Chains A and B, each alone.
Chain A
Amino acid sequence: MVTETDLIRALEKIPYAKSLGLKPLLIGEEFTLVMPYQDTNIGNPALPALHGGAISGLLEMAAIVQLYIANEGTGLSKPIGINVDYLRRGKPQDTYARALIFKQGSRVANVRVRAWQEDYDKPIAAMHGHYLNPKAAED
């Protein structure tokens, strides 16, 4: 069983997660990845809006951490392909992401992720992606 403390420790070792300022939240079995607002995640200072790349980084990391939990911390899954839909402007405020593993195969996992800000029912972005399981990546 992976705990929130395990996730905090795992993310601390990933420099990219630190650069984005990501914080994991684990309530029961429900995992949420938080990207607290920071100026360095802005992509359009005129609007202002978060960078699409920062939002995608949050979504991709949420998928990887969700798989890390499912694989009981046995390694990091490798991305094969992702598809991100940008639905609303990312406002300069805290952003959340939650991932759902649609299918866990022996080699490949299919994951869907949602990102939102003040309202879960008004997602700012959605992603689906395929990931190579850590064990398959070693073969």
Chain B
Amino acid sequence: MSTDHVQKLWEIGPTMAELTPHSKLLGIKFVAVDKGRATLSLPYNPELIGDPKTRVIHGGAVTTLLDQACGLATLAGFDQPTSCATLNLSIDYMRAAKPGETIIAQAHCYKTTKHVAFLRAIAHDGDETDPIATAQATFMATGPRPKDSKTW
């Protein structure tokens, strides 16, 4: 892993995370990227409400935020620049997101092989020990094939 690769993700990460059309629709924000790790946020947006009675954000929007964070962590986990696609995303919803609060998603790509990246992620609204949702995901490299497997 070259530091240049992660440095480059710091430069293009905000564009990727915020200007991808569907991310832009939701209002996803770039927070940080590091080797095999990415953090994104989703400020409260009334257009994403899933239950008009409680004004809680729909699970699908939390899924999208986690998917996007996992995608960025995957790119930061492979040893060279590539593109990726989600293979599987498994999410447990621990509790409803608090209306009005920004949701933060932290993704960790803990292992990559030549083709596949393995990730864990959590979504919370300020307190990591009180998650809204936790996720486990696998992604596939769709661009240049990474040369080696890595563990972060």
Contacts and interface: CB of A to CB of B under 8 A. Distances in A.
Q: Do A and B form a real pair?
A: yes
Interface in B107-134: none
Contacts of A30: none
Interface in B71-99: 71, 83, 85-93, 96
B58 interface: yes
Interface string B23-51: 11110000000000000000000111111
A80 B20 CA distance: 28
A114 to B, nearest CB: 15
Contact of B20 (A51, A61, A76): A51
A53 B105 CA distance: 14
Interface in A91-131: none
Contacts of B91: 81-84
Interface stretch (B2-10, B62-70, B144-152): B62-70
A51 B20 CA distance: 9
B100 interface: no
Given A16-B61, A56-B63, A43 B20 contact: yes
Contacts of B48: 15-16, 19
For chain B, which range describes its interface: under 10, 10 to 19, 20 to 34, or 35 or more residues?
35 or more
A125 to B, nearest CB: 9
A15 B24 contact: no
B124 to A, nearest CB: 17
B88 A79 contact: no
Given A19-B25, A40-B21, A81-B92, A56 B46 contact: no
A16 B60 contact: yes
A19 B59 CA distance: 14
Given A45-B21, A58-B60, A81-B93, 4 more contacts: A16-B58, A16-B60, A42-B22, A51-B22
Interface of B: 20-26, 46-52, 57-61, 63-65, 67-68, 71, 83, 85-93, 96
27 contacts: A14-B52, A14-B58, A15-B46, A15-B47, A15-B50, A15-B52, A16-B50, A20-B60, A40-B24, A44-B83, A45-B21, A51-B21, A51-B22, A51-B67, A53-B26, A53-B68, A56-B63, A60-B58, A60-B63, A78-B93, A80-B92, A81-B91, A82-B63, A83-B89, A84-B63, A84-B91, A85-B87
